[in-house]
Amino acid sequence: MFAIIGIVIVFAAVIGGFLMEKGHIMVLLQPAELLILAGAAVGTLLVANPLHIIKGIIAGLMGVLKGSTFGKPRYLSTLKMMYQFLNKVRKEGLLSVEMDVEKPSESSIFKNYPEFLNDHHARDFVCDTLRTAITGGVEPFDMDQMMELDMEVHHHASMQPVNALTTVADALPGLGIVAAVLGVVITMGSLGGPPEEIGEKVAAALVGTFLGILLCYGVAGPLSSNMSKTADEHNEYLHVLRVLMLSFLKGAAPMIAIEMGRRAIPAHVRPSFDEMEKNCKSGAASVEAAVA
């Protein structure tokens, strides 16, 4: 939502200032310049990137426009889910959750948290880790190394669309110059004509440069920066799950493991201990708090 508001403010400020200086808005409407700029930008994007990165850019842009999902409610929901899950393990053993991690969509615990199930990276991160723990014979240190490696691979993949969009943003001013040069070529072919016609063609040529710079620093660049922050937020979310699970695998009680996870949550969305405790135990009369 804030991304949409920001883009609207950018264009409103630029166009508003132009109109205040007695500019004619129709001068900025140059379909040919926009076609050259947008077409070249999309073409370079397709040339430089495979299909999965293109899909990642589209998905990332949709996520930016929807806004961040990693707020305090998401973390409270996750802590409650893991508290219930770890309590089950504590009471019945790791083998009791084998079907939960094999078929999370059918799990009596996970199915109550659709936001977690829809986040397939986080879902697989948790289930793969616990599946490995169930097999036994893996030390907590080695488990931590596996989780760290998983996070690094995922973060690298999530940053590829960001880097691709940043490259396009950096290219937009240059592509704007290409559009401007083509406009100058057309203008040179019209020398000797009426001054008004020459002036219109020069203005159209300069609009290409204007659009390239505006779209670079006012739209594409900020969007790629926002996508980068979204990728970092997801990595922070996985880090909380990593700290939480590792603490439990080392022998901590469920509530202590949850508290370890809470301490790893970024400060601006971290719930208080009272909020976390009340949330974990609310509506879970069948789940007993196990504190070592």
User: Do residues 185 and 202 touch, judged by C-beta distance below 8 A?
Assistant: no
Rounded to two decimals, the pTM is 0.86
In angstroms, the CA 226 to CA 65 distance is: 10
- Judge whether 43 lies within some domain: yes
Q: Between the CA of residue 88 and those of 70, 287, 290, what are the distances in Å?
A: 26, 8, 10
What is the band of 123 on the pLDDT scale with cuts at 50, 70, 90?
A: very high
Question: What is the rounded (10 degree) CA torsion for 165, 166, 170, 172?
Answer: 20
Query: Cα 194 to the chain's mean position, in Å?
Result: 52
Give the structural domain span for 254: 31-281
Does residue 13 form part of some domain?
no
Give me the torsion for CA of 30, 34, 36, 38, rounded to 10°.
180
Residue at 205 is within a domain: yes
pLDDT for residue 67:
82
240-273 b/e (C-beta count within 10 Å ≥ 16 → b): bbbbbbbbbbeebbbbbbbbbbbebbeeebbbee
Task: Flag whether 25 is in a domain.
Answer: no
pLDDT band at 292 (very low <50, low <70, confident <90, very high): very low
125: nearest Cα among 276, 240, 221? 240
Average pLDDT over residues 46-55: 94
CB count in 10 Å sphere of residue 39: 11
User: Is residue 68 one of the residues assigned to a domain?
Assistant: yes
Assess whether pLDDT exceeds 70 at residue 289.
no
Structure tokens belonging to residue 155: 């973060």
Answer whether residue 70 shows pLDDT above 60. Answer: yes
146 domain residue, yes or no: yes
**Residue 204 has what pLDDT?**
82
Report the number of distinct structural domains present in the chain.
1
Q: Is residue 144 over pLDDT 90?
A: yes
Is a pLDDT exceeding 60 seen at residue 285? no
Task: Please give the residue that has the higher pLDDT: either 225 or 192.
Answer: 225
Domain annotation covers residue 24:
no
Q: Does residue 290 form part of some domain?
A: no
